[in-house]
Amino acid sequence: MSEETKAKSVEAVEEKLQNLSTKETAAAAPADKKADHPEHAGEEDAEGKTAPAAEGEKKKKKKKKSKKKKGSHGISQFYTDGVYPQGEWMDHPGDGNLKRTTDEEYRYLDNKNSSAWNDYRKGAEIHRRVRKMAKEKIKPGMKMIEITELIENGVRAYSDTNDTKKAGMGFPCGVSLNHCAAHYTPNAGDKTVLNYDDVMKVDFGVHVNGRIIDCAFTHTFNDKYDNLLKAVKEATNTGIKAAGIDVRLTDIGEQIEEVMESYEVELDGKTYPVKCIRNLNGHNIKDFQIHGGKSVPIVKNGDTTRMEEGETFAIETFGSTGKGYVVGSGECSHYAKNLSAPANAPIRLERAKKLMTTIENNFGSLPFCRRYLDRIGEDKYLLALNTLCKAGLVSDYPPLNDTRGCYTAQYEHTILLHPTRKEVVSRGDDY
């Protein structure tokens, strides 16, 4: 693909992303304003009369429609052969795994799953492009809701489909600030603004056919936090290096803890040790299931469960200048269908039954947030949502906070445990 063609493709995606934001704004506009705008010429006014449309405007409309039919404006336009870039390759640790890289049987098993690996790589490429765009555009003074919509609309624009269960957001974009380590995304009406001295964890997922990329970074403007970010980034990279087929989970946690807690950070004349947030973990990922049942600790915890061939893991670490322990508190925004819910659990509230159907049809087992319900036209649903949570059909995930006044940081990558080697599929030039 020529540089000129690439530039045009990027412009097309950016135009689509802009249109997504414009549509969401226009949807809230009063109906009587539409007739005043040339775009709505030819539509009925409040009295049922039709405003005449200029012939030139009609031609423009036809041109726009025919233009939209040409090809894709998503990520696939950059990869017309449908093959997406591989991540960083690393050998599985341990002498017993060295033969895997050349063994024909292992290579055959790896090739059998090439379609799944390609789905992960497509999601990872979307993640890289969106986070690059976000890092360039995020500035102090922006509302948190602007930041999350910038990122989520970017993912939607690249995803080649409007079917949220086929591709798109793997889970809501978290933008947790300072002492809040995870699970904060703004609900409608949230007026929180990003400040120069904030430490923001940007954690968002992208899925393609249910294969989820879980990847996060920490965004700051003030360089006084650099050592905190360095500690967590180094700890995550240590966990990635230690992970692999047949590796015990506790051994990964032990190595992460050793690296993380070798750092300290000076803030406003006071020195703080960087602590692992011991009750936050990495995890394995299954199709359409962000937490697959195994947890990757970031401290030594005695768990002798081993990683296995073919598994996908999110290696994530959290560092803190506080206690190194989080509790759930504050207004909830994150939710997900409870896969362990009892079959045929009774739902007495009719509105709750309808909401459950909406959740299953639009998200399935993928996590969602209240903004996503707003986006698809649900309203006055909070009582019904709380009813579903109390019945155990939906799980709620409130913000996770360390001691107020402290600072927390996070870095995360998704790794694929191929039969031959491991692939840090979400690795980019940035981290």
List, as residue ranges, the binding site for substrate: 183, 291
Which listed residue (110, 149, 412, 423) is catalytic?
A: 412
Which listed residue (110, 149, 203, 402) is catalytic?
A: 203
Q: Can 268 be counted among the known catalytic residues?
A: no
Q: Can 36 be counted among the known catalytic residues?
A: no
3-state helix, strand, coil in the chain (%, to 5): 40, 20, 40
Strand partners, 318: 410
Which listed residue (207, 283, 334, 418) is catalytic?
A: 283
Shortest CA distance to 149 belongs to which of 93, 97, 104, 190?
190
Binding residues for a divalent metal cation: 203, 214, 283, 316, 412
Q: Can 316 be counted among the known catalytic residues?
A: yes
Q: Can 214 be counted among the known catalytic residues?
A: yes
Which listed residue (125, 152, 234, 316) is catalytic?
A: 316
SS3 179: coil
Q: Can 203 be counted among the known catalytic residues?
A: yes
Q: What is the rounded CA–CA span in Å between residue 61 and residue 271?
A: 62
Q: What is the rounded CA–CA span in Å between residue 41 and residue 402?
A: 55
Q: How far is C-alpha 184 from the chain's CA centre?
A: 12
Cα dihedral 283, 286, 291, 292 sign: negative
Q: Where are the beta strands (DSSP E) in 287-426?
A: 295-296, 312-320, 327-328, 334-337, 368-369, 394-397, 400-401, 408-417, 422-424
Q: What is the CA radius of gyration of the chain?
A: 23
Which listed residue (149, 152, 214, 402) is catalytic?
A: 214
All residues at 6 or more sequence positions from 58 whose CB lies less than 8 Å from its CB, including other chains: 42
Measured CA distances, 262 to 5, 227, 235, 256, 271 (Å): 48, 11, 10, 10, 13
Q: Can 412 be counted among the known catalytic residues?
A: yes
Shortest CA distance to 214 belongs to which of 136, 127, 134, 122?
127
All residues at 6 or more sequence positions from 166 whose CB lies less than 8 Å from its CB, including other chains: 209
**Could you tell me if 284 and 316 are in contact, meaning their C-beta atoms sit under 8 angstroms apart?**
no
Binding residues: 183, 203, 214, 283, 291, 316, 412
**Largest Cα–Cα distance of the chain, in whole Å?**
80
Query: Side chain identity at 222, as an amino acid letter?
Result: N
- Residues annotated as catalytic are 203, 214, 283, 291, 316, 412
